Amino acid sequence: MSHAIPDRVVILGTGGFALELAQLMGDCGCRVVGFVGPQPDCPLPEPWLGGDDSLSTVNTHIPALVAAGQPHLRQRLLALAAAGRALARFVHPAALVSSAARIDEGCMVYPNSTIHAGVHLESGVLVNSNVSVGHETRIGPCCNIGPGSSLGGRIRLGARVFVGIGASLIEKLDVADDAIIGAGAAVIRSIPAAGTWVGVPARPLEPRP
């Protein structure tokens, strides 16, 4: 399936995620008209347009993408962006995406990732660089899939799951909403509840006494 790069976009977010997304999109020929969100803490390549309330002043024909790393924040900003304008999707040309995969609005797929047949990315998912997503896996809304991670086939991730850098999940697992999987973790059993899961094999991180 071909995923056209939008001609122009407004980005919600003003941190490092917004910077890297803007650079990737610009390199692909998309014009970033500006950034909406808190005052930037890093130099951005296009104008800061103001806080979240300034989105209403941006031409509603320009679609939006949300560059917020925290899944709950991304969910809130997606709702804000979708009120009165379209959500863009961005699939980098260097990603390998099956024609039998489905990628919803608001998703971002970074270079050198592989999305196999039957995968469904729900709204607002970030698939970072060098990720492999196995066949028929469903990734719920506003999940983060960290760089270099690997997901086997027929996995079901709930909403707002955060998969850390280099984590691995074997096939046919279910992962609960709001679970956090630590960097380098190896998940070999379903994750039944929210919380942080770390290690090899992955276990729930016990809170400090």
Do 109 and 22 reside in the same domain of the chain? no
Do 190 and 95 reside in the same domain of the chain? yes
Whether residue 30 has pLDDT greater than 70: yes
CATH number at residue 49: 3.40.50.20
Is 109 in a helix, a strand, or coil? strand
Do 104 and 182 reside in the same domain of the chain? yes
Angstrom distance (rounded) from CA 55 to CA 1: 31
Residue 8: what pLDDT? Answer: 94
Cβ atoms of residues 111 and 91 within 8 Å: no
Average pLDDT, the chain: 94
Work out the burial of residue 103: count CB atoms within 10 Å of its CB; fewer than 13 is exposed, 13-18 middle, 19 or more buried.
buried
Give the model's confidence band at 187: pLDDT under 50 very low, under 70 low, under 90 confident, else very high.
very high
Residue 84: what pLDDT? Answer: 84
Do 131 and 112 reside in the same domain of the chain? yes
Indicate the range of 3-7, 167-171, 196-200 predicted with least confidence: 3-7
Q: Is residue 65 part of a domain?
A: yes
Q: What six digits make up the tokens of 14?
A: 């003003």
Residue 39: what pLDDT? Answer: 92
Do 77 and 95 reside in the same domain of the chain? no
Whether residue 208 has pLDDT greater than 70: no
Q: Is residue 3 part of a domain?
A: no
Do 99 and 186 reside in the same domain of the chain? yes
Do 107 and 162 reside in the same domain of the chain? yes
Structural domain span for residue 161 = 91-198
Whether residue 207 has pLDDT greater than 70: no
Q: Is residue 153 part of a domain?
A: yes
Q: Is residue 207 part of a domain?
A: no
Do 40 and 125 reside in the same domain of the chain? no
Cβ atoms of residues 142 and 125 within 8 Å: yes
- Whether the bond between 47 and the residue before it is cis, its omega within 30 degrees of 0, is no
Q: Is residue 68 part of a domain?
A: yes
Give the model's confidence band at 1: pLDDT under 50 very low, under 70 low, under 90 confident, else very high.
low
Number of domains in the chain: 2
Angstrom distance (rounded) from CA 161 to CA 143: 5
Do 119 and 32 reside in the same domain of the chain? no
Q: Is residue 204 part of a domain?
A: no
Do 144 and 193 reside in the same domain of the chain? yes
Strand order through the sheet with 64-66: 48-50, 31-36, 8-12, 64-66
Do 65 and 117 reside in the same domain of the chain? no
Indicate the range of 1-5, 111-115, 140-144, 186-190 predicted with least confidence: 1-5
Q: Is residue 2 part of a domain?
A: no
pLDDT digits (tens, 9 = 90+) for 89-144: 999 999 999 999 999 999 999 999 999 999 999 999 999 999 999 999 999 999 99
Q: Is residue 205 part of a domain?
A: no
Angstrom distance (rounded) from CA 138 to CA 10: 27
- Cβ atoms within 10 Å of 4's Cβ, excluding its own: 8
* Start-to-end C-alpha separation, the chain: 51
Q: Which of 155, 114, 121 is nearest to 137 (CA)?
A: 155
Does the model's pTM come out above 0.85? yes
Quote the DSSP letter at residue 19. Answer: H
Q: Domain ends where: 44, 59, 82? A: 82
Give the model's confidence band at 156: pLDDT under 50 very low, under 70 low, under 90 confident, else very high.
very high
Tell me the mean pLDDT in the region 31-43.
Answer: 92
